[in-house]
Amino acid sequence: MIKHIKTPLKKFSQKASFLGASLAVVAAALAPVLLITPQARAAQITNRSLTISTAVPSATAVTYTIGDGTTGFKFGTSHVVKGMKFEVCNTAVGTCTHPTGFSWAASGGYTLTNWQDATAFTKTTTNTNDCDGTNVAILCLGRGAASVAENTSAFHKIVITGAVNPDNTNCSSNPNCSFFVRMTTYDNSTYTTGGGAGSQAVDNGTVASSTVQTLTVNAAVAEVLSFCIGATTVDDDTTSVGATCSAVTGTAVDLGTLDTSTVTVSPVSSVSNTGNDRNGVAMLRTNAANGSTISYDAIQDTGSNQLGTLRIPGSTCNALDTTLTDPCIRAQGSGQGVFSAGVERFGMTIAGTNCANATTLYSCSYGSSTEHLQPSASYIGKTGAFCATNTCNTTGNGFAWVQTGGTATQIASSSTVVADEALILKFAATPSITTPFGAYAAKADFVAVPTY
């Protein structure tokens, strides 16, 4: 740092010099460049350009277009072109070192545009005079039948297919690596030079190109999961329960006062009964493309027997759930069923999948079965339709509840991503005449498992 302060001008000068050199290298790397090969006895091909179909190092089946198709190149001398040589080199001038990896071996096409003599060129694969067709970096094209002279005013183009780009060995593995194609025309098809008319090279010129590194744009979409359980007053499949999980609140559904004369189904009025007007809700958002499941596991209460059903907390119940005089309301079990008033049962079902949040992202309608998050068998409140109020019981499939703990019971699944779809959970209970009075509770642990 001190040195820089002491000799700022010198350092700047050195840096500027180097910067200029760097810019020159970069410019050469990035753009096709017109370069003129100074051969005194030959005329220059002008308006030269080279377009390659891909600049990826070592790319195969690459198309090389000499002449840009709009203006093309012009011959410096009007002559019958019976032979052409395209030699690929690391430098524009001087001794030609062939770039590693380049090959004309599989080349073909040689399509001509705007030539005065349209006779097709064919590849010479032998080492003939000035053109070594055995070298993969040298392309020798001949057409002995040509008879019409190419003029110096027309724009010419030739398209060569099947080339293999150089690798980046010659540039110390830097993929931004320049290379040059030296072109020579002959008035004979045997690539003879040094003679008179009919035995000489006529025009030449060099075009440049470069392989470049592949620009890759990377982005990562992380695994996403948002899952919540709560309570909602929503009792349909189209009214949003909240845009996201942050808007879902509550941890309880209150079924109010049960009576033997009816099957109580959430939501239970807080006015006419002593409920809390709420259904349960389980909302899921995930980009797990391999699907997701939602399961519940009845939390085991203290006390004894039937620990996961609707029960007076801490109480002792009979081992047989058919006993109707203990303070445990009989769980429906894994098999779904419609409840009858006064026949002691407790259960849960899914009234439907609320799609309100998902419809902006994909087609989602519970009635049309286009929801991604679909209730599982035994938890479909009503086939083909949302069951509001108590219709999951009166006209639906009823309820189920597995009260044994330890093994989660799946209630819904998706085979693909889910955008804040919400299961509307309905709970139902009815006591028998002998069900002991008191405050009953059941608790569940809901688990979402996305597979990414």
Partner 1 sequence: MLKLKKALLILLPAMLLIMQLSSKSQALHLTNHSVKLSSALAGATASHDFQFTYPSTNVVGSVMLEYCAQGALLSMTCNAPAGLDLTGATLTSQTGNTGFTIDAVNSTANKFILTRVPLAGVSTLSTYNFDNITNPSGANTTTYVRIATYPTTDGSGPDNDEGAVAFATVSPFEVGAFVPPFIKLCVGITVANDCSSASGSGIDLGILSTGGPKFGTSQFAVGTNSITGYNIFSLGTTITSGNNAIAAMSTPDVSRRGTNQFGMNLRANTNPAVGADPQGGGTGIPQTGYDTPNTFKFHDGDNIASSNLPTDYNKMTASYIVNINSGQPSGFYATTITYLAVGQF
Q: Which amino acid is at 302?
A: T
Rank residues 146 and 228 by Cβ distance to partner 1 and give the closer one. Answer: 228
Task: Specify the stretch interacting with partner 1 by CB under 8 A; choose among 96-104, 162-170, 366-374, 429-437.
Answer: 429-437
437 in contact with partner 1 (CB under 8 A): yes
CA distances to 310, 327, 401, 438 from 299, rounded to whole Å, are 11, 17, 12, 20
Is the C-alpha dihedral spanning 319, 320, 322, 323 positive or negative? negative
By CB under 8 A, tell whether 251 contacts partner 1.
yes
Q: Which CB, 273 or 391, lies closer to partner 1?
A: 273
Residue 1 binding partner 1, by CB under 8 A: no
Considering the complex, state which of residue 233 and residue 445 has its C-beta at the smaller distance from partner 1.
445
The kind and range of the H/E element at 11 are helix 8-30
Residue 303 sits in the site that holds partner 1 (CB under 8 A): no
Site string for partner 1, 212-241 (x = CB under 8 A): -x--x-x-x-xxxxxxxxx-----------
| Contact pattern from residue 60 through residue 89 relative to partner 1, giving x for each residue in contact according to CB under 8 A and a dash for the rest | ------------------------------
Closest contact distance (angstroms) between CB of 108 and partner 1 is 33
Is-contact 160 63, C-beta < 8 A? yes
Shortest separation between residue 147's beta carbon and partner 1, angstroms: 52
Residues contacting partner 1: total by CB under 8 A: 74
CA atoms within 13 A on the CB side of 394: 9
For partner 1, the binding residues in 85-144 under the rule CB under 8 A are none
Contact 352, 424 (CB under 8 A): yes
Transcribe 262-287 into DSSP letters: S-EESS--TTTSS--S-EEEEEEEE-
Within positions 40 to 59, which residues make up the interface with partner 1, using CB under 8 A? none
Out of 22, 233, 239, 363, the only residue in the binding site for partner 1 (CB under 8 A) is: 22
Using the contact rule CB under 8 A, the part of the chain among 10-18, 72-80, 360-368, 384-392 near partner 1 is: 10-18
> Six-digit token pair at 364?
């989602």
Q: What is the dihedral of CA 328, 330, 334, 340, to 10 degrees?
A: -150
Q: Which residue has the tokens 């992202």?
A: 361
Closest distance to partner 1 from the beta carbon of 127 (Å): 37
Is residue 432 close enough to count as binding partner 1 by CB under 8 A? yes
Pairing verdict, β 264-265 and 201-211: unpaired
Closest by alpha carbon to 104, among 92, 119, 121, 82? Answer: 121
**Interactions with partner 1, residue window 157-196 (CB under 8 A):** 173-174
Question: Residue 302, interface with partner 1 (CB under 8 A)?
Answer: no
CA angle 442, 445, 448 (to 5 degrees): 145
Residues of span 366-425 touching partner 1 by CB under 8 A: 406, 408
